[in-house]
Structure 1
Amino acid sequence: MYVGSTGLRGLHQLLFEIASRSVNEVLAGGGGCVDVTLMSDGGVRVTDDGPGIPVEASGDIGGTGLESLLTRPYAELGPGNRPAVTWSFYGMGPCVTNALSSRLTVEVRHEQVRWVQEYVRGAAVAPPAAAGPATGSGTSIAFWPDTDIFDTRECSFAVLATRFKEVALLNRGLSISLTDERPIGGIRSVRFQFPGGPGDFVALLDAEAGAHIPPDIIAFEQEDARMAGTVEVALSRRGSGEARVRTFANSVPTPEGGTHADGFRTGVTAAVNTYARQRGLLTTADADLTTDLIVRGLTAVVSVKLDRPEYEGATRGRLGGGTVYDSVEQAVREHVGTWLTHHPDQAADLIGRRP
């Protein structure tokens, strides 16, 4: 139940439990690299260049070091330790991967010491052992899913590449690679890094929709203590067609939308109508422009990163939280309003009439 299935979905979740820890650790340090390798023997290796997991003293059961991480559920993160990526269904973390793997090995480079340890079906073979000096810092975890539990050990390169690209687009400064050593024809590898973050995401979505001219993109990021998190939004207008709004909470898609999606739509609508009335593009006799009319032709990415996200429903497809709605609505209204003021020609075109 902790990984969702014993099929491909659950297999990928084992990897995500490890990868999300690495991604959050390198992003907390201002950015870095996470490298994922699908090994030819059915194992998966995740390596990062973060600070390295501390190795706690033997018997420190309540600690936050290596053995605790691999044998106990994650402790809840507090403010200042916000996860940029939350792939875990129940906040269990790498201990789930360890418990559901026939074998797991870990190498840690921390404070100039290289540590190694091995686990078999979740149990440590021996305590962590110092294995000489370390160059640099970071953590490498390799695991082999238990074939007595899972129907397959063949991860999908295409599915993982799509997901890792999405995560890189939502987290500027992150470099994430995926290497597949399994193909008979030779190794294949991709690397993703996007300095523009969600702005690059919107540009790619527009390109996929056939936009031949790079659009003007409105992009901003704002911290808001009310929702204990940040909101990052990027949007463009292609001119016509259905709105395409992609929403995320802690870098996980929210296909059913939620309070961040609702706040975005309300904020855009308020900004456009306020500007239109201030500039005389709408008279007192005119009704407000509707949300459906305003968002027509928009491409947008709305990403919130929260200390403690609230979801509606067991599938976590819809985000809740009234403060999220308020924070997103205000941020969008203010930033879109400012953009309209500085781009009067585009604003008039968006509204559909000129003064």
Structure 2
Amino acid sequence: MNSPEEPTQSPQEQASLPASAAPGSGVRGSADGSDYGAEQIRALKGIEGIRTRPAMYIGDTGPRGLHHLVYEVVDNSIDEASNGFARQIVVRINADGSVSVADDGRGIPVGPMPDMENRSALEVVLTEIHAGAKFDRQGGYKTGTGGLHGVGITAVNALSEWLEAEIRREGAVWTMEFARGTVAEPLKKLGVSDRTGTKITFQPDPRIFPDTKFHYDTLQKRLQELAFLNKGVRIQLFDERTGAKDDFCYEDGLIEFVKHLNRTTTPLFPQVIHVQGTQDQTEVEVALQYSIDYDENVRTFANNIHNVEGGTHLSGFRTALTRCLNNYGKKQ
């Protein structure tokens, strides 16, 4: 018996329906005459998906998204440095407007991956999303990393007109070239090298970005910030277009960061309070100094990523600081 909520159609009624609206066809007719069915569904994979919806991966295709490409590559170098595998990072804005990021880390692996049709690990990392060594601690990254999802460097490749990778490892120099996310030149072994490291050079794609001009001051601010956060790591920035350059290296890390933030005001005391510790494999570091200003200047980071809206680490710090001051006041 058919319930009133589920009316059925007679064979004559079903036969009179257009084929596009036949039950089970997966297609529905619409008021304006257009059809919506299985043939309208698209399944975008990897590079194509990134190029179709770039803002999902880099925020937007304006200046912020453009510079985010550089940050993604630099963050990989920073991950090497924060885990003790690299000590120097060089960022260069080339005369043609492209950008090069080089480090003295271990170098992206270039060997074949049997479960990926024996493609080079370098190719897989640069062309497949969710490919990388940071999903667990087995890749040698014992401390937190900015890259966690295996997406960033693939997005850079996908949104670049061209990208060149130069890897130094296993006693040799390896190169590979890409065009809009796909392999343009296969992996090549050029010669010998007694050094290790990764160098990525890329040109943003004008089909994606209305303006592909990098701004020195924007990169300078972020790179200096990273140098403060990673004490002892040297980060150099060069602009071949203008000759501008900067060299950042801070042995006292966050202490120098706080002094830098307070450089235009008067501190209430000369020393910067610095606390550092580890619990359950989580490292925490805090530096603070009070000044005569009424407005606070608080910066919070997790794995070198700026947490603009704070987070539980900031909430916990505020709670602990308030408790300590209250307890001290009650004892006096």
**Structure 2 length-normalised TM:** 0.75
Q: Which amino acid aligns with 2:184?
A: V
Match of 2:125 among 62, 69, 73: 69
User: 1:217 and 1:56, CA in 2 relative to 1: closer, same or farther beyond 3 A?
Assistant: same
Structure 1 residue aligned with 2:36: none
User: 1:261 and 1:199, CA in 2 relative to 1: closer, same or farther beyond 3 A?
Assistant: same
User: 1:198 and 1:244, CA in 2 relative to 1: closer, same or farther beyond 3 A?
Assistant: same
User: 1:206 and 1:274, CA in 2 relative to 1: closer, same or farther beyond 3 A?
Assistant: same
Q: CA deviation at 1:85?
A: 5.3
Match of 1:81 among 141, 144, 165: 141
Maintained 8 Å contact 1:69/1:93? no
Q: CA deviation at 1:244?
A: 2.4
Q: CA deviation at 1:66?
A: 1.2
Q: CA deviation at 1:96?
A: 0.7
Maintained 8 Å contact 1:173/1:194? yes
Give distance in 2, aligned partners of 1:43 and 1:37.
8
SS in 2 for 1:2: helix
Structure 1 residue aligned with 2:298: 245
Matched, 1:224 2:283: no
Structure 2 residue aligned with 1:292: none
User: 1:84 and 1:178, CA in 2 relative to 1: closer, same or farther beyond 3 A?
Assistant: farther
SS in 2 for 1:108: strand
**Structure 2: gaps of 5 or more residues:** 1-55
Maintained 8 Å contact 1:11/1:155? yes
Q: CA deviation at 1:30?
A: 5.3
Structure 1 residue aligned with 2:210: 151
Identity of aligned residues (%): 36
- 1:177-326 to structure 2, matched below 5 A, reads 177-183=236-242, 187-211=243-267, 215-225=270-280, 229-239=282-292, 241-278=294-331, 281=332
SS in 2 for 1:118: strand
- Structure with higher Rg: it is 2
CA RMSD across the alignment: 2.3
Q: Which amino acid aligns with 2:135?
A: L
**Structure 1: gaps of 5 or more residues:** 282-355
Give distance in 1, aligned partners of 2:246 and 2:57.
29
- Paired residues, number: 272
User: 1:188 and 1:46, CA in 2 relative to 1: closer, same or farther beyond 3 A?
Assistant: same
**Structure 1 length-normalised TM:** 0.71
Structure 1 residue aligned with 2:190: 131
Maintained 8 Å contact 2:165/2:200? yes
Structure 1 residue aligned with 2:25: none
Moved over 3 A (4+): 82-85
User: 1:81 and 1:138, CA in 2 relative to 1: closer, same or farther beyond 3 A?
Assistant: same
Maintained 8 Å contact 1:181/1:188? yes
Give distance in 2, aligned partners of 1:77 and 1:218.
34
Q: CA deviation at 1:135?
A: 3.1
SS in 1 for 2:70: helix
User: 1:82 and 1:13, CA in 2 relative to 1: closer, same or farther beyond 3 A?
Assistant: farther
- 1:27-42 to structure 2, matched below 5 A, reads 27-29=82-84, 31-42=86-97
Higher RCO (CA 8 Å, separation ≥ 6 residues): 1
Matched, 1:140 2:195: no
